[in-house]
Amino acid sequence: MNSKPIIVALDYADQSLALDMAKRLDPQQCRVKIGKELFTLAGPAILEKLHELGFEVFLDLKFHDIPNTTAMAVKAAAQQGVWMVNVHASGGRRMMEATREVLETVAGPKPLLIAVTVLTSMESADLREIGIDLDPQQQVLRLASLAAASGMDGVVCSAQEVSVLRAQINREFKLVTPGIRPAGSDQGDQRRIMTPAEAISAGSDYLVIGRPITRAADPISVLKDINLSLG
Ligand SMILES: O=C(O)c1cc(=O)[nH]c(=O)n1[C@@H]1O[C@H](COP(=O)(O)O)[C@@H](O)[C@H]1O
Domain enclosing residue 176, as ranges: 6-229
Question: What is the model's pTM?
Answer: 0.98
d(CA 134, CA 127): 7
The Cβ of residue 158 has, within 10 Å, a number of other Cβ atoms equal to: 27
User: Which long-range CB contacts under 8 A does 194-201 form with residues at least 24 apart?
Assistant: 194/158, 194/159, 194/160, 195/229, 196/6, 196/226, 196/229, 196/230, 197/229, 197/230, 197/231, 198/159, 199/159, 199/162, 200/1, 200/5, 200/230, 200/231
On whether the CB atoms of residues 195 and 26 are closer than 8 A, the answer is no
Please report the pLDDT score of residue 33 as a whole number.
Answer: 98
CATH number for the domain harbouring residue 91: 3.20.20.70
DSSP state of 180: B
Answer whether residue 150 is part of any domain: yes
Active site residue 62: yes
Q: Average pLDDT for consecutive 10-residue bins of the chain (231 residues)?
A: 92 97 97 98 98 98 98 98 98 98 95 98 98 98 98 98 96 97 96 98 98 97 96 81
To the nearest 10 degrees (0 to 180), the angle between helices 67-79 and 93-103 is 30
Other beta carbons within 10 angstroms of residue 2's beta carbon come to 8
First-to-last C-alpha distance (Å) of the chain: 9
In a domain, 1, yes or no: no
Q: Which of 123, 208, 214, 222 to mutate to test the pocket of ligand 1 (most atoms within 8 A of CB)?
A: 208
Determine the residue type at 65: D
Provide the domain count of the chain.
1
pLDDT at 231: 81
Query: Which residues line the pocket of ligand 1, CB cutoff 6 A?
Result: 9, 11, 35, 60, 62, 86, 116, 119-120, 156, 178-179, 188, 190, 208-212
